Structure 1
Amino acid sequence: MKANFILFFGIITLMFGVQSCGAQNSSIVAEGAELLLVADGYNFTEGPAANRKGDVFFTDQPNDKILKYDVETDSVSVFMEGAGRANGLYFDNDGNLIACADEEYQLIRISSNKNVEVLVDNFEGENLNGPNDLWIAEDGGIYLTDPYYQRPYWDRSSPDLESQNVYYLAPGSNSLTMLANDLVQPNGIIGTPDGKTLYIADIKDKKTYSYTIAEDGGLSNKTLFVEMGSDGMTLDNQGNLYITGDGVTVFNKNGEQIKHIPVNENWTANVTFGGKDGQTLFITAMDALYSLKMDVKGVRW
């Protein structure tokens, strides 16, 4: 009887332990964490990107500003005004801020002292549609989405290019290579830290695809990942993909939804990890920047 009781107690303990581990891993959000408003009062926030310190830079495109959230002071200030109508942002390995600046259809590099250099402004002599979002591989290669959204500050009323494309700017190059021209309206883009997989969202067709990245930077093996488009995207260190639009929806490596993070705004534009430990999710939504403490980290931490 005693032996049976010990066996029964052991089984119950094991079951409880398994359930406890499952509970601990069931959420990627830190226990008790709530979505916090960091700052608001902007026109439309976009393009969050974190530097190695964990400061988060984001854009207010209609007001032509890049803002900076400082992790040390827990405050937001204007980093740059007159930023080419910057949209998507990403830091390169040298600490420069690379920006999709669609005022003049450019991809630009902004140094820490705010010197601006145009990296590219055309494809085969034609104006780009309007660089929107980007991802930079470890070797410095830049992947760029170029959808067409008519802007009130443009003189033109139609695109120069026939399609809305995805491009690659090889390290050291000053000309783009077209990677994809079969998407309706490519927008969000992010790659895995090992440089092997690229995710591209076709926001208008409400689909997100995965691609295999070749050694020369090219793409192959286009595969439907989820039946959902996205404005901006990021990855965590478990390989989960974060998609924006209606709040933030998170999918695991298999394309299974594991979390939805509601944001009380009409539209959630973009998302990234930042903070001192890379374990805070920063979300741009309408006129505001939000943060949420996580149990996972961004892929650069």
Structure 2
Amino acid sequence: MTPTSGRRAFLGGTLGALLCTQARAAVSAPPDVTTHPARQWGNHAPTGYLPDPDVIALDPSFKDLVFSGTSLERVLTGGGWLEGPTWLSEARLLLLSDTIRSEQYRFIPAARMGEEGSLSLYRAESYHSNGNTLDTQGRIITCEHDMRRVIRWEHDGSCHVVADAFEGKPLNSPNDVIVLPQDGSIWFTDPAYGDTLIEGHPDAPGGRANRDGKLRWQIGSELPVQFAGHTRQDDHVFRVDGDSGKIEAVLTQDQVPSPNGLCFSPDLKTLYVISTMPDPGQTGTKGSPMIHAFDMVDGRPRNGRVFTDMKFENHQMMPDGMRADVFGNLWCGASGPFGLAGVFCFNPAGELIGHIRLPYGCSNLTFGGVKRNELYMCCGHELYRLLLETQGAGLS
């Protein structure tokens, strides 16, 4: 091979590789959605973004749900990983879990837009709590990753263990929880995302989430061994009877692998359950990012189907938490590429009608405020708020 032909071959190969790389980038890279001038968050952010360019109506019906005279607000920053937002109506505050820091906070919103709210510690040690909700008596129910249980705080301040085992086996790491008002039953998902050092503790040596035993699961933990689960089991969606306290697996891992967020439709005829990425130590059917829907028949989920595959602009979004509004629209927080991550709003038919772009993926959300028309969105270490022309359905 002559020097010229070798150089041509090299340049040809290099150019071909570059073109292939550019072609892949053109397919996979999301478009630039940076607001111009670049958006500034915080109390001194510019107020000229009206209507807000990051609150996007994909269908005309979405415009009836949002208020064009206000914009997205960042109301809190500096957390670890915010989760489980739940509005306490009587106290007029938002309860939050910081899953990484193992704390819970109470956030009192500011009386006026643009002012800072008040944040204080609610529980100094929450055992890596995640999902929260209220029951029909206004008692707080919390999922604890580290203790692998669901608890309820009674009105006298005592703690009641709702569930910590199923068929003699400890739970994995209860994630999200809701209550069915019809019978007071408690429903929760039990993947194993908390069977990790960051959000809880791994399995004991030999368990699915610590098969080789290299992770020393008890280091840094003051957990009573007799209470904290040692090894994980299959994923389930559980129901706890409101009267007897009996725990029942209403959905298996084959039906909804890696179950995460869940909620009921406002008429209580449909149960929605999010499936996310495979969780630690999972065997068998693996998680796949989508939202499942089930008909509620005689108080149990039946006729499972895919509500949405969570694909948006040729990208697979990662759903996490969700809530329904009074019209039956489903508001879902999701992670994904910058410019796509945020909140997605689906109508009851499963059609995507609105998109709220946020700087970070949204792990969970809830409706709050005196009129229940303020959407609070947890995005990693930050919390965002948007005023709406609709209201949240359900208890929290």
- TM-score of the superposition, structure 2-length normalised? 0.66
Residue 135 (structure 1) shift: 1.2
Among 131, 137, 157, the residue aligned to 1:94: 137
Aligned to 2:295: 212
Among 217, 237, 258, the residue aligned to 1:185: 258
Among 61, 70, 74, the residue aligned to 2:99: 61
Aligned to 2:186: 142
Q: Which moved more, 1:62-71 or 1:271-280?
A: 62-71
5+ residue gaps, structure 2, are 1-58, 112-116, 209-230, 278-287, 311-317, 335-340
Q: Which moved more, 1:108-117 or 1:38-47?
A: 108-117
Residue 289 (structure 1) shift: 1.3
SS in 2 for 1:63: coil
1:225 counterpart = 2:307: yes
CA RMSD in angstroms comes to 2.0
* Counterparts of 1:24 and 1:220, CA distance in 2: 30
Correspondences of 1:42-81 after superposition (within 5 Å): 42-53=79-90, 54-71=92-109, 74-81=117-124
Aligned to 1:167: 238
Among 262, 266, 275, the residue aligned to 1:202: 275
* Counterparts of 1:283 and 1:26, CA distance in 2: 19
Aligned to 1:251: 346
The change in CA–CA distance for 1:24 and 1:251 in structure 2 (over 3 A counts) is: closer
Q: Is the 8 A contact 1:211 1:220 kept in 2?
A: yes
> 1:58 corresponds to which letter in structure 2?
L
Residue 175 (structure 1) shift: 3.0
1:288 counterpart = 2:326: no
5+ residue gaps, structure 1, are 1-21
- Number of aligned residues: 278
The change in CA–CA distance for 1:25 and 1:190 in structure 2 (over 3 A counts) is: closer
> 1:99 corresponds to which letter in structure 2?
T
Structure with more of its chain in strand, by fraction: 1
* Counterparts of 2:258 and 2:74, CA distance in 1: 30
* Counterparts of 2:294 and 2:135, CA distance in 1: 22
The change in CA–CA distance for 1:164 and 1:25 in structure 2 (over 3 A counts) is: closer
Residue 298 (structure 1) shift: 0.6
Q: Is the 8 A contact 2:266 2:324 kept in 1?
A: no
> 1:134 corresponds to which letter in structure 2?
V
Taking only the aligned residue pairs, the percentage that are identical comes to: 28
Correspondences of 1:10-159 after superposition (within 5 Å): 26-53=63-90, 54-71=92-109, 74-111=117-154, 114-138=157-181, 139-149=183-193, 150-152=195-197, 153-156=200-203, 158-159=207-208
Residue 193 (structure 1) shift: 3.1
The change in CA–CA distance for 1:161 and 1:63 in structure 2 (over 3 A counts) is: closer
Residue 273 (structure 1) shift: 0.1
Q: Which moved more, 1:154-163 or 1:193-202?
A: 154-163
Work out which of the two has the higher radius of gyration on C-alpha atoms and give 1 or 2.
2
Q: Is the 8 A contact 1:251 1:259 kept in 2?
A: yes
* Counterparts of 1:162 and 1:185, CA distance in 2: 12
Q: Is the 8 A contact 1:95 1:111 kept in 2?
A: no
* Counterparts of 2:150 and 2:168, CA distance in 1: 15
* Counterparts of 2:146 and 2:365, CA distance in 1: 23
Residue 121 (structure 1) shift: 0.3
- TM-score of the superposition, structure 1-length normalised? 0.86
* Counterparts of 1:220 and 1:106, CA distance in 2: 26
> 1:251 corresponds to which letter in structure 2?
F
